[in-house]
Amino acid sequence: MGHSVAVWDQQVAMEITKDWNGIDQVTLRSPRGASTRVSLYGGQVISWRNDRGEELLFTSNKAIFKPPKAMRGGIPLCFPQFGNGGCLEQHGFARNKIWTIDDNPPPLHQSDSNGKAFVDLLLKSSEEDFKCWPHSFEFRLRVSLAANGDLNLISRIRNINGKPFSFSFAYHTYLCVSDISEVRIEGLETLDYLDNLCQRERFTEQGDAITFETEVDRVYLTSPNVIAVLDHEKKQTVVIRKDGLPDVVVWNPWEKKSKAMIDIGDDEYKQMLCVDGAAIERPITLKPGEEWTGRLELSIVPSSYCSEHLDHHFRGL
């Protein structure tokens, strides 16, 4: 059995092709037909499909697929800065760099490999990066697809600098939803959040779930490691598990902002929702030689699987 899994992982389940810009992209497939595709431009997951071929991540019809522009959709990696809360470009530079496939990564736990198709990517600091962020790092990303179609991302960032450095981080996850007004998020109730629409003022969530009637742009703080995005029309729930990522960003631009953005359709806000595992309020600080790990797992369950069961079933990593 173990041998057959290894054959599936290494020989059948991974395909490397080139996109229309000549940039490599890697497609992973599960035995049941689920798939994910990751571009070496930005190390960005650009597709995640279930075993029926339905796309689970949102990508705008107006997305610009040409460097140096980051693509609007999928799961961009925000490093070493989230948003515009520093001296770097919006969301940092990792999402605008060409990554390489890492053929010999440092080992991960056996459970991060067994029964999964995966690819390891690597981004190293460059001379160009030093001009705006003078720190030496290695950023390793493993993207894996489990036999049941669950999508896993593991980021390992190591300081190979001679001095400490700090960074913020997010998996900027664009989920594809049926209708934003029919979606709710469970697991963030009673938490404090920073509201980016009110100069990052701090509030406390009052609702028993988060629902959407207008633009939302918030950073929820000290969040649980399991949250759920319930889509009533699809009758399914995206379960988000995370580790090393204390914050959760929730964003939907709504109508007015969508019309002002060139790379998103006027009405596309109805079909998208960003829910990011992140480390923003308290940046990560690494001493020389130290490594940080941030994990994200996305899975789909029927919406009848209520939130009380979610925490019990998915507790721990």
pLDDT tens-place string over residues 242-264:
999 999 999 999 999 999 988 79
Instruction: Show Cβ contacts of residue 166 under 8 Å, excluding neighbours closer than 6 positions.
Output: 283, 284, 285, 286
What count of other Cβ atoms lies within 10 Å of the Cβ of residue 56? 20
Half-sphere exposure of 146 (CA within 13 A, CB side): 12
Q: Is 13 exposed, middle or buried, given 0-12, 13-18 or 19+ CB atoms closer than 10 A?
A: buried
Residue ranges of the annotated binding site for substrate are: 72, 90, 95
CA distance 310 to 221: 20
> In this predicted model, what pLDDT tens digit does every residue of 174-203 receive, in sequence order?
999 999 999 999 999 999 999 999 999 999
Q: Where are the domains of the chain?
A: 12-312
Q: How many helices (H) and strands (E) does the chain have?
A: 4, 20
Q: Does domain 12-312 have CATH number 3.60.40.10?
A: no
Per-residue confidence band for 13, with pLDDT thresholds at 50, 70 and 90: confident
User: Which residues are part of a known binding site?
Assistant: 72, 90, 95
The answer to whether the bond into 224 is cis (omega within 30° of 0) is no
**H or E element at residue 64:** none
Q: How confident is the model at residue 8 (pLDDT cuts 50, 70, 90)?
A: very low
Quote the pLDDT of residue 115. 82
- Bond prior to 302 in cis (omega within 30° of 0): no
Round to whole Å and give the CA distance between 251 and 218. 7
For the chain, give the percent of residues with pLDDT over 70: 89
Query: Alpha-carbon distance 229 to 242, whole Å?
Result: 14
